[in-house]
Structure 1
Amino acid sequence: MIFSYSLPKQIWFPIVAMQFLIIHSVLSLNITNEYLTHKCFLNQGKYNSGSGYEDILNILFGRVRTDDYDITGFRYTSKETSPLDSASVMLQCRGDSYGSKCNTCADIAVTGFLKRCPKNKGGIIWYDQCFLYVTAFDDSLRLKTNYKNIFSMYNPKNVRGDGKLFAKKTMDFFSELTLKVKKSAKYNPVILYAAGEKKIGKNTLYAMVQCVELTLDCKTCLAWSITKIFMNSDIKQGGRVFGMNCEIRYELYPFLRS
């Protein structure tokens, strides 16, 4: 038996209008999960199809894909079957991408890594909302900042008006967010993330800072990244510095979930 039901027009229009507003508000955040970059660790070599190393990776990738990223958005897992067959995999999602959103990014990252670093034993791949780190070594100890694997990207548009003043105020805001990360780490050493917004003249600045859970020197990594983001003479309307240990980003539009 099939039932048919129609809403009165005076009810239907507000619902459609509400749905439009919800869709528009999500789109206006410009939330994406675009591929950013990757690096295959050529010095760690390659594995053969059907090898013990491939079996280990499949197990670890399965764990990463199916984990429960309820709050932290982080997973580190390793496995060893022999001295020659051991691997570690680490996934870190952006602070606003937890739960099912982190699972989605984890699945995309694993697929992307297998495509861009085929048969490589180690490497890293970054997306807008997460990054995946794979290595043939056991990195269960806390990670020192790896300055060789840090990248930067910028908005193509320059800031209008006094660029130096904008850069100074943005750096000051990054420092405020870094203090929030340090403060929250005393109570919860897992979530090393802070974000916010601030008025700078006629513009609203949106920014975030985040460290990976295993990072030993979060404050140092963030301070280095904050300095690096404004090393160019042209001050851009947005930019980010990201790597294995920490990430910072700023824009003149909202790009994070509340």
Structure 2
Amino acid sequence: MPSFNLISSVLLFFYIFDLAAEANPSFLYKFCYDKDTTFTTNSTYGTNLNLLLSSLTSNANRIDGFYNTTVGQQPPDRIYGLFLCRGDVTPDVCRDCVAAAARNATSLCPVEKNSVIWYDKCMLRYSNESIFSTMETRPGGTVWDNDTFTEEEDFVDIVASLVKDVASEAADAPMGAKKFATKEANLSGSQTLYSFAQCTPDISDVACNLCLESAITEFSDCCRQKEKATRASSLLPSCNVQYGLTPFYNKTAGEVSRSKPSPLPSRDSGKGKISSQTIIYIIVPTGGFLVLLSTFCYCILRRKARMKPYLLKDQKDKSKARTMNSLQYDMSTIEAATDNFSDANMIGVGGFGSVYKGTLANGQEIAVKRLSRSSKQGAEEFKNEVVLVAKLQHRNLVRLLGFCVEREERMLIYEFVPNKSLDCFLFDTEKQKQLDWPTRLKIIKGTARGLLYLHTDSRLKIVHRDLKPSNILLDEDMNPKISDFGMARIVEENHNLEYTKKIVGTYGYIAPEYALHGIFSFKSDVYSYGVLTLEIVGGKTNASFYNPESAENLLCYVGPT
């Protein structure tokens, strides 16, 4: 009937309008960097960029939502590009988002050769250097708003727990698969907290995990209080993490389920006339729908107006952003430095893997800690050291120069410390002669300064949990440097004690309350430092004093009888 056709047409119009509004990509953030490396529109690089953007757009309807390609034969005009669509969107939505990003790329970053452009449903990136299969966390940005209120008292803690869980699920995806996950948590007052995490599928699970941890860390600068950010997105080149109090993704991974409107009941006599009741049926739902639609549009516009780009602190300084990027080394650089990991360059072996000495092209000597592929403990230690040591700077801590995650390899690159570890001198009858009393005192004091920095002076308050002679490296002047932070744990401020069911460390250096009950604190390191000091003074290991008949050890030997 005409009345029902009219209703269907009206509803269909708004349904299509609603779909179009939902699929319409929204710009979030962009970063154009390396401004000393620029190009002009009519240059070869400019032409190649246009070809690249066209190629990315043409391939943007892929099921996997990811594509990378290269245009140009030789540098400096060769250009690398890729796009990543959000894991839950359809190929059509992906295509529209990439097309919008490509269309606006040259106006957003008109002269820079390197750029990352984020929309709500995709990310587009290009560079004059290879960016494929390499995890990068800089440059990046955090976008947030606070237009949704929550009365949840533990909101910040719930956010922290939820984004950690969703990041872990995303990183578990196998190489080449869509590395994304969604997760929800119920709050008080019938509210739901939504979260989303995703990595580019060309990086390993370990690299994805590291990237997502970096993304989550950036939330702490903007989102420590619920009044500041009830919705936020941490956007990095290789990954992103988002959360909010309103749904912003499709739980069914792009398959939008919408029920077809059921026919309205008719009381028409069949003579083609529209009754007053039918008119009410038309006007009331349509009017109500228009009110809801207007409210929805107002909320969207208000939210976009309040969305604030939050620059990471170190992005304000372009050189500092480059420094962060330089933390990651490629495999070819490490292979060249270590002579392809030759046996002649191997300087140590442990349960985690091997350590090699290397020399970079600029002449700098390095120590490369290469983790065994079969060592699960090594993978955890690797992640821990990258997250912690990169943020620590002190003359009595070994300095992390960078890391490499490529071809399923995991490596840490440290400054090379020529005199190896303290135990090589302390427990060797010949080398022990080099440790005169001033040198021993310098080692004791330097180690104490390093511990003091970890416990009180660093931005992160850290318990080392494995302090012993083999983890004290000595430089050319016999200055001590605390190393091996694989077992270290961050301790929250105002928390005097922490508990764990997994006891790690080396027996003989572990505090009794930690060994017996899993209780550790800064005092645990102080206990280990005390044992270490006694060994430095006495020149003998704690174990050398062990007597099975009396259960005596070094501490009993020096203690009161």
**TM-score, normalised relative to structure 2:** 0.40
Q: Distance in 2 between matches of 1:84 and 1:218?
A: 29
1:52 is the counterpart of 2:41: no
Q: Distance in 1 between matches of 2:94 and 2:75?
A: 32
- The structure 1 residue matched to 2:163, chosen from 162, 174, 177, is 174
Distance change >3 Å, CA 98–CA 12, structure 1 → 2: closer
| Segment drifting more, 99-108 vs 45-54 | 45-54
Query: What corresponds to 2:183 in structure 1?
Result: 196
Q: Distance in 1 between matches of 2:91 and 2:23?
A: 16
Structure 2 residue ranges without an equivalent (≥5): 253-561
Query: What corresponds to 1:125 in structure 2?
Result: 117
Letter aligned with residue 70 of structure 2: S
Contact 2:29–2:143 (CA under 8 A) maintained in structure 1: no
Contact 1:31–1:256 (CA under 8 A) maintained in structure 2: no
Query: What corresponds to 1:208 in structure 2?
Result: 196
Please list the CA deviations of residues 139-195 of structure 1 after superposition, one character each: whole Å capped at 9, or x if unmatched.
Answer: 33x22232x3121122224743344x1222222222332333234x23x63301111
Q: Distance in 2 between matches of 1:30 and 1:234?
A: 29
Letter aligned with residue 108 of structure 1: A
Distance change >3 Å, CA 32–CA 241, structure 1 → 2: farther
Identity of aligned residues (%): 21
Letter aligned with residue 196 of structure 1: K
Letter aligned with residue 172 of structure 1: S
Contact 2:25–2:100 (CA under 8 A) maintained in structure 1: no
Matched position secondary structure for 1:193 = strand
- The structure 1 residue matched to 2:135, chosen from 124, 144, 149, is 144
- How far has the Cα of 1:70 moved from its partner? 3.0
CA RMSD, aligned part only? 2.7
- How far has the Cα of 1:250 moved from its partner? 1.1
Q: Distance in 1 between matches of 2:8 and 2:200?
A: 42
- How far has the Cα of 1:118 moved from its partner? 1.4
- How far has the Cα of 1:20 moved from its partner? 7.6
Q: Which has a greater percent of strand?
A: 1
Q: Distance in 1 between matches of 2:53 and 2:17?
A: 35
- The structure 2 residue matched to 1:228, chosen from 202, 210, 218, is 218
Please list the CA deviations of residues 48-78 of structure 1 after superposition, one character each: whole Å capped at 9, or x if unmatched.
Answer: 3432222222221111011153321111111
Q: Distance in 2 between matches of 1:21 and 1:83?
A: 51
- How far has the Cα of 1:123 moved from its partner? 1.3
Contact 1:145–1:215 (CA under 8 A) maintained in structure 2: no
- How far has the Cα of 1:233 moved from its partner? 3.6
Distance change >3 Å, CA 17–CA 175, structure 1 → 2: farther
Paired positions, count: 245
Letter aligned with residue 246 of structure 2: Y
Letter aligned with residue 46 of structure 2: E
1:244 is the counterpart of 2:231: no
Letter aligned with residue 131 of structure 1: M
Please list the CA deviations of residues 15-72 of structure 1 after superposition, one character each: whole Å capped at 9, or x if unmatched.
Answer: 3586488469759x96652212212223452223432222222221111011153321
Query: What corresponds to 1:64 in structure 2?
Result: 56
- How far has the Cα of 1:102 moved from its partner? 1.2
Q: Distance in 2 between matches of 1:49 and 1:151?
A: 27
| Segment drifting more, 12-21 vs 198-207 | 12-21
Please list the CA deviations of residues 113-159 of structure 1 after superposition, one character each: whole Å capped at 9, or x if unmatched.
Answer: 1112113222121111112111111233x22232x312112222474
Letter aligned with residue 107 of structure 1: A
Letter aligned with residue 201 of structure 2: E
Contact 1:30–1:255 (CA under 8 A) maintained in structure 2: no
Please list the CA deviations of residues 59-114 of structure 1 after superposition, one character each: whole Å capped at 9, or x if unmatched.
Answer: 21111011153321111111232233211011111112341211111111112211
Moved over 6 A (4+): none
Query: What corresponds to 1:134 in structure 2?
Result: 126
- How far has the Cα of 1:238 moved from its partner? 1.2
Distance change >3 Å, CA 16–CA 171, structure 1 → 2: farther
Query: What corresponds to 2:73 in structure 1?
Result: 81
Contact 1:177–1:209 (CA under 8 A) maintained in structure 2: yes
Larger radius of gyration: 2
Q: Which has the higher contact order (CA 8 A, sep 6+)?
A: 1
Structure 1 residue ranges without an equivalent (≥5): 1-6
Q: Distance in 2 between matches of 1:120 and 1:94?
A: 25
- How far has the Cα of 1:242 moved from its partner? 0.8
- How far has the Cα of 1:223 moved from its partner? 2.3
Contact 1:86–1:138 (CA under 8 A) maintained in structure 2: no
Distance change >3 Å, CA 139–CA 245, structure 1 → 2: closer
| Segment drifting more, 126-135 vs 40-49 | 40-49
Contact 1:44–1:136 (CA under 8 A) maintained in structure 2: no
Query: What corresponds to 2:91 in structure 1?
Result: 99
- How far has the Cα of 1:199 moved from its partner? 1.6
| Segment drifting more, 12-21 vs 60-69 | 12-21
